Chain A
C-alpha cells in the first residue's frame, strides 16, 4: 500500500492547503470535500446505512402484505406453504449464511491488504450467491411446472386460463394420475356441486386427492383427511374430470405428485436431500392440511399466497443478483491490489449490502417455509 500512501506527487492534490498542511491530503483516494480518509469513510458508511434503511422500508411493504394476509387467512398459509420445500429453504439459508461469513472475512482481508485471500473469499461469496440462485431457480421451476406462478398463471386463480389443456396436463403427470385413479375414486363425492358460482372446479377434484394421499402417507395424522371409503364413488370423475376442469386431479395435491418423477421437487416430503426428507417423514410431518379442509372463502385465495411468495423471494432474488454483480466488481478491483488499510470502503459497503440480503432471508425463511 505504500505506493498509494506515498504518492506525494499527485497532481490532483491541490486541496490540502486549506487544512493547515495535514499530510492526509496526499491520499489519492481522498475526495477534496473531505478532511480525512476517516471522515470520508464514515460518511460513505453513513450513506450506505441510510440506503439500507430505505431497502428495509421497501421490504417492509411486502412484510406488511404478508402480515395482513396471513392474519386474515391463516388457513391459506397453512395449506399453501406445503408447496414449499423447507429443506431447500434451509439449505439456502445455510448457503447464504456461509457466504455472509466469507464476505465479512473478505472485508477483514481488504482491511489488512491481503489481496490473495480477499480474492479467494470474494469468489467463495460469489459462489454462495450463485448457489442460492440455482436452488431458487430449481424451486421456481417446480412452481412453474405446477402452475403456481402469480396471477392468472396460478391454477388456484379463478381466472386461470393457462396453456394447459386437460389432456396435455394429464400426460405430463400421467404417472401420478394413473396410479392414483383407483384410490381417488373412492373419495370423490363432490361432483354434484361443481356448478357453485365463483368457485373454481379445482376444489372438487382436489378432495379426491386428499383421499389418494392417505394410503401412501407415512404419518397417521393424514388419515382424517381421507373421506370415508364407500362414499359415493365416481371413478370417471378422476380420469375425465366433470364440468371440464382444466387440470387433472393429480395436479393440485402435493402429496399425490410423489410418484411423478418430474414432480419430486415440489413435494415437501420427497424434495430436497433424500436423507433429510426421510427424517422428516419419520417425524410424521408428511402432510399438514388438505385443500378440501380450507374454508370455502379461502379456496379461491390460495393463489395470493404464491403472489406474496414470489414478490418477496423475487425482490430478494433481485437483490442477490445485484449483490453478486457488486461483488464481481470489487473482485476485479481487488485483484489489482487497490484495497488496503487506507482504502477498503467499497468492500465494506458491498459487504453491508450483502449482509442485508442475508438479513432479509433470515426472516423470509421462517415466514414462508416454516409455517406451523
Chain B
C-alpha cells in the first residue's frame, strides 16, 4: 500500500481516491491506539453524509471510537468482511481493514485533508504533547 498516495484526516483516517469515489479506513496510529478491535458497526449503503458526520463505530476491548465522513457524499459500500473479521482493522489497516467507500459531492473538500508529510508532522505534534 502506497501510503504516499493517500490523504489523511486529523481523526486518523486515511482516504484513497478512486475516480469519483473515496475509500476510507483508519491509520496504523489509530488502530494501535484503539487496541484489539472486536466489532465494527458499519453504515448502510445509500446513507447521506455531511462532512464530519459519524459514519461507523469501531469497538475495541478498551474503548469505542467513531469514524467520521472526511467529505460530504453518500455511502456506496461498507467492508462486509469486518463483520466476521474485525481484527483486520488491526492486522491490515491500510488494506483489507478498510471501512467504507463513499461518493464525493465536492472535490474541493478533499483539499482540506493532509498529505502523508503533513500527517507525519501532525503525529509528531501529538507525540510531543
Q: Do A and B bind each other?
A: no
A residues with CB within 8 A of B: none
B residues with CB within 8 A of A: none
